[in-house]
Amino acid sequence: MKYIINALKAVCSFYLLNNFSVLVTELVNKVIINYNGINFTSHAEFLSKLCQKLVLIIFMYKNIRIALATTNLPLSYVSRSITKELQ
């Protein structure tokens, strides 16, 4: 599943070189990536680290937009991860 990682790296490079303000991705199957020996939490964290940018995960459906305050944390950690800096 190296092609998924390589595609994400290419997208990040293209994003940075062209100075875009938004990067839109599709779902990535992290189970397949981890199964092949790559430690991968999510593409949000991966792209954030690679591009050295903060990420915001937004789910959209028709006229509904939901932005997450955190990324890929166990639910029990969410309340202590939301700080004034995030608001």
Q: What is the pLDDT of residue 64?
A: 96
Q: What is the pLDDT of residue 86?
A: 60
Q: What is the pLDDT of residue 53?
A: 86
Q: What residue ranges do the domains of the chain occupy?
A: 2-86
Strands, E assignment, the chain: 58-61, 64-67
In this structure, what token pair is assigned to residue 78? Answer: 């969410």
Q: What is the pLDDT of residue 63?
A: 95
Q: What is the pLDDT of residue 13?
A: 92
Q: Which residues does the chain have with pLDDT short of 50?
A: none
Euclidean distance between CA atoms 5 and 70, whole angstroms: 22
Q: What is the pLDDT of residue 72?
A: 78
Euclidean distance between CA atoms 69 and 6, whole angstroms: 27
Nearest partner of 52 among 8, 86, 16, judged by Cα: 16
Q: What is the pLDDT of residue 62?
A: 94
Place of tokens 């991966």: 46
Q: What is the pLDDT of residue 87?
A: 56
